[in-house]
Amino acid sequence: MDPVVTRFPPSPTGYLHVGGARTALFNWLYARHTAGRFVLRLEDTDVQRSTQASVDAIFEALQWLGIDWDDGPYYQTQRVDVYRAHIQKLVDRGHAYYCTCTPEDIEAMRNEAKARGDKPRYDGRCRDKHRPPSEDAVIRFKAPRTGTTVIEDVVKGPIVFQNDELDDFIICRSDGMPMYNLAVVVDDITMGINTVIRGDDHVNNTPKQILLYKALGAPLPVFAHVPMVLGSDRARLSKRHGAMSVTEYRDMGYLPDAVLNYLVRLGWSHGDQEFFTRDELIAKFSLEHIGKSAGVFDPQKLLALNADHIKTASIETLALHLKPFLGALGVDNPDPAYLGAAIETLQTRSKTLLEMADGAVFYFQADVVYEEKAARKFLKPAALEPLRFLIAQLEAQGVFNDASIEAAFVQTMEKTGLKLGKIAQPVRVALTGKTVSPGIFEIIRVLGKEKTLARLRRAADTIAAHGD
């Protein structure tokens, strides 16, 4: 059996969005699962809307997701000669013909058909006239007028189209540029694509493409048309549902593996399992488990899944993805060991990397900035004596570890008669500037003795300066 060859053919007319990313992911996973090949090509024949910026954005999104390709990228605009050669084959074999009907002629045909109660379409008047090539002629495919064309779809099952519902569709414009359906089929044939996984909005194109495969004497690929991704209101997914470009999720602090995990679950399942690593997805993905119902995009589920992936990710992985967010907050080139220790204190309490960076920035500040409300509530005269006693206890510790830090707090509680919470909150504000943070002992362990004492002394001086 030939190796599986799949493809992802985006049109570079904008960013890579959720629906397109899921299509890319399904094709990539199936190729990786079967030890096959994954081909990337850019369907850029819409030259007025296609841009290099969009091409770059698609590459950037795929690379961030970790979706790599084995062949390509191919560009349809660089393959026009290949299409024209195949179009000529269809003309030479009697499967296509030149048509000189004007747009006005076509409109009149459609209006007449409507008046009769028929489907508005081209009536085939140039079909058997053997017109020669000319500057104003398009080339049409000679579609069969009887029988059926059947899509043997892996996801949806057999889909039957009556051939008399198909008109003689254009495969080449008068300017010599191929039409979409022709270019797609020629690409898939010449690139050896034998498995086509795509959104079910392409179903109506598929019978035309099947006819082209047959006319060109090529075997049909496996077709798998995947249900669309919908918003919570069951309408087609859009920004109002919270769906954005893939790179926007990156910039909001999502991990690529979390986005992959969520996208694949929009239409595919493996029992009741929700959380998958990348390796698990590759091992378990199959076409048979793609569902027939549309996936419903839920931003809150994606956020929860991202939190789960942050909890299970390695410190090295989190550090790699966290650094740009820290850089945006003015933290550049942090010490790897110190950064790793800081991440450990935030890993179970961060839903996004953006949240983690905001929570971690105090570790790297020379002078912590106190939140006004926090300082007013907790850095007040009553906290001065406990702070000064705690400073003395921490200074006296020869070994600075969890046990000695805890001992210093216990001694402070015994000396002042205060419970831990009454001591911990002023200390938290002194060390972080905030009222919400990782555990106090964790923070002190990461900061180390020198930084901890410096911050506590500064807080004590701040309180004293306002009168004790």
- For residue 231, what pLDDT is reported? 81
| C-alpha span between 261 and 308 (Å, rounded) | 11
| Contact of 200 with 157, CB cutoff 8 Å | no
Phi, psi dihedrals of residue 69, rounded to the nearest 5°? -125, 150
- Pairing outcome for strands 195-199 and 222-226: parallel
Q: Is CATH 3.30.2320.80 correct for 314-364?
A: no
Phi, psi dihedrals of residue 233, rounded to the nearest 5°? -90, 10
- For residue 290, what pLDDT is reported? 96
Task: Determine the Cα angle at 162 with ends 159 and 163, to 5°.
Answer: 120
CATH code for the part of the protein at 365-468:
1.10.10.350
- For residue 230, what pLDDT is reported? 86
Cβ neighbours of residue 48 closer than 8 Å, sequence gap 6 or more: none
| C-alpha span between 241 and 298 (Å, rounded) | 8
Domain range 5-77+228-306, its CATH number among 1.20.1300.10, 3.40.50.620, 3.40.630.30, 3.20.19.10: 3.40.50.620
| C-alpha span between 460 and 468 (Å, rounded) | 10
Which of 65, 51, 86 shows the shortest CA–CA distance to 8?
A: 65
Q: Is CATH 3.20.20.80 correct for 79-226?
A: no
Residue type, 299: P
Phi, psi dihedrals of residue 160, rounded to the nearest 5°? -105, 130
Cβ neighbours of residue 306 closer than 8 Å, sequence gap 6 or more: 253, 254, 255, 258, 259, 262, 351, 352
- For residue 386, what pLDDT is reported? 95
Cα–chain center distance at 299: 13
Tens digit of pLDDT at every position of the chain (468 positions): 799 999 999 999 999 999 999 999 999 999 999 999 999 999 998 888 999 999 999 999 999 999 999 999 999 999 999 999 999 999 999 999 999 999 999 999 999 988 888 888 899 999 999 999 999 999 999 999 999 999 999 999 999 999 988 999 999 999 999 999 999 999 999 999 999 999 999 999 999 999 999 999 999 999 999 999 888 777 777 766 666 799 999 999 999 999 999 999 999 999 999 999 999 999 999 999 999 988 889 999 999 999 999 999 999 999 999 999 999 999 999 999 999 999 999 999 999 999 999 999 999 999 999 999 999 999 999 999 999 999 999 999 888 888 999 999 999 999 999 999 999 999 999 999 999 999 999 999 999 999 999 999 999 999 998 754
| Contact of 266 with 229, CB cutoff 8 Å | yes
- For residue 20, what pLDDT is reported? 94
| Contact of 191 with 261, CB cutoff 8 Å | no
- For residue 467, what pLDDT is reported? 59
**DSSP conformational letter for 369:** P
- For residue 120, what pLDDT is reported? 87
Fold match, 79-226 / 314-364: no
- Taking 3-state DSSP, the helix, strand and coil percentages for the chain, each rounded to the nearest 5, stand at 55, 10, 35
Active-site positions read 239
Domain ranges of the chain: 5-77+228-306, 79-226, 314-364, 365-468
DSSP string, 129-141: S-PPP-TT-EEEE
